[in-house]
Amino acid sequence: MSTNQKHQKSIKSSNNYHRRAQSPFIDGQIVAMNEYGDGEIHGNRKTIKVARTVVGDRVRVALPQTDKSYMYGNLVNLLQPSQKRVDPHCDAFNNGCGGCQWLHFDYAEQLKWKTKILREMLNKRLNTAIRVNDIIPMGMPYGFRNKMSFRNVKNRFVSMMDFNDAVVIADSCRVETVANQKSRKKIIPLKIHPDIQQAHFRSTLSGQIGMHLYVASVSKVVNEFAMWCMQNIDGCIGVGAQTKKKFDVIAGEGHLSYQYKNLIWKIPLNGFFQTNYLQAETLLETALSQMACTRNDSVLDLYCGCGFFTLPLALKAKEVIGIENNSSSTFNAVVNANTNNIRNISFLTKDVGVALNELPGNKYRSVLLDPPRSGCDEFALRALCAMAPERIVYISCSPQSLVRDLKQLFAYGYTVTYCQPIDMFPHTAHMEIVVTLRLQNG
């Protein structure tokens, strides 16, 4: 198959993305990439966003009828492929899997666009000049993703997609760890009982696999499936089941283990952990150097999970408090502190805003926060700013919620002194961003 034929094949699947009433066709050139990963055609009055294109493509797109200043066009034909296209080497991507958006986009170009997109977003939307460093790349941007997620559609596990009308049964994935890919091959052919609604797998670098199921109830079939996984999935150390009401470990162990330098973390089957270990280590080193803790400092680690940042911070600071609302994560965080023999550390299982309102106001010089994709809520930011820490290191995986939260932090007198994107999610438009803020006159 020629390169152009391969590109055309991936187009067919991209047309599932924005199914709307379509009318005319237009031909145009993709001149930019946007924060959601689409290519853009810039017309006189309208921007047309086209999924699965790359800058430099000449394309024919079908247009929806809309009065908006932007619209989603469906890619009908790749008239002239861009020089910046590469072969995705992935059947799942070619069949429309939504896990990666840019597997067909040259990696060096992806990096350039991520830095550019972030610079423009921060500077335009915050109306201030922020110096954004070039994104830190990943040396070998394949086989890194340690988490995989499936949902049960018509008794088969399909890849999770953003688009309800398109599901993909993918028996391979180019960005997942080898251990995940092996497990994927085993479970994709299975007929899955409707009691099992979702399955989330996480692997470690040593090949352990932990499974987290979402189930209607912990029925006999769910228990049988858990036992099957323990026996048939290489490295499977445990299976947990989440109902609407509670989480239980139903087979094996309740946690995976991860080591970096001389620290060991136990990761709960149902808790958060960074999805790309190698880049997480870069993130950790970057965040630690920005926190610049000394043995005189009491510091906070907000949204701390099972203590990924809290433990190394404790090795540098006088004292650290980690705050997190998932009780499995804080349970493991305490275990992690004990296993690593770290004593100057404590964890609160609470909503961040609630906990901050209960802590002494003037004790914490530096605060690290790593909220979920949705960012911090206003209540938490208000409570944080009332404490007036000199330095805040904000780790974000969403430029959109970061912009919103920075606006609020600026209003409380903080300014950005450092901004470093890290390519944690190659082949998507997503990125991890470390931002250091200092209190003016602080």
Residues at the interface with ligand SAM (CB under 6 A): 272-274, 303-305, 308-309, 323-326, 329, 351-352, 370-372
**Nearest distance, CB of residue 405 and ligand SAM, angstroms:** 13
Please report, as a single letter, which amino acid is at residue 62: A
**Nearest distance, CB of residue 396 and ligand SAM, angstroms:** 9
Give one DSSP letter per residue of 373-437, joined into a string: TT---HHHHHHHHHH--SEEEEEES-HHHHHHHHHHHHHTTEEEEEEEEE-SSTTSS--EEEEEE
**Nearest distance, CB of residue 174 and ligand SAM, angstroms:** 24
Comparison of 179 and 380: residue with beta carbon closer to ligand SAM: 380
**Nearest distance, CB of residue 371 and ligand SAM, angstroms:** 6
- 341 close to 260: Cβ distance less than 8 angstroms: no
Q: How far apart are CA 268 and CA 273, in angstroms?
A: 9
Comparison of 201 and 272: residue with beta carbon closer to ligand SAM: 272
Bridge partners for 238 per DSSP? 210, 252
> Is 14 in a helix, a strand, or coil?
helix
**Nearest distance, CB of residue 410 and ligand SAM, angstroms:** 22
Give the residue from 98, 73, 90 showing the smallest Cα distance to 167: 98
**Nearest distance, CB of residue 397 and ligand SAM, angstroms:** 6
Bridge partners for 151 per DSSP? 158, 198
Q: Is the dihedral of CA 2, 56, 18, 157 positive or negative?
A: positive
Query: Which residue's Cβ has the minimum distance to ligand SAM?
Result: 305
**Nearest distance, CB of residue 354 and ligand SAM, angstroms:** 8
Comparison of 144 and 303: residue with beta carbon closer to ligand SAM: 303
Q: Is the dihedral of CA 124, 127, 132, 138 positive or negative?
A: negative
Please report, as a single letter, which amino acid is at residue 228: W
* 3 state SS for 316-375: CCCEEEEEECCHHHHHHHHHHHHHCCCCCEEEEECCHHHHHHHCCCCCCCEEEECCCCCC
Please state whether beta strands 345-349 and 319-324 pair in parallel, antiparallel, or not at all (unpaired): parallel
**Nearest distance, CB of residue 367 and ligand SAM, angstroms:** 13
* Kind plus residue range of the DSSP H or E element containing 7: helix 3-14
Comparison of 124 and 373: residue with beta carbon closer to ligand SAM: 373
Comparison of 72 and 303: residue with beta carbon closer to ligand SAM: 303
**Nearest distance, CB of residue 187 and ligand SAM, angstroms:** 26
Comparison of 312 and 389: residue with beta carbon closer to ligand SAM: 312
Q: How far apart are CA 20 and CA 319, in angstroms?
A: 56
Comparison of 61 and 409: residue with beta carbon closer to ligand SAM: 409
Comparison of 94 and 275: residue with beta carbon closer to ligand SAM: 275
Comparison of 42 and 404: residue with beta carbon closer to ligand SAM: 404
Give the residue from 394, 388, 313, 375 showing the smallest Cα distance to 347: 313
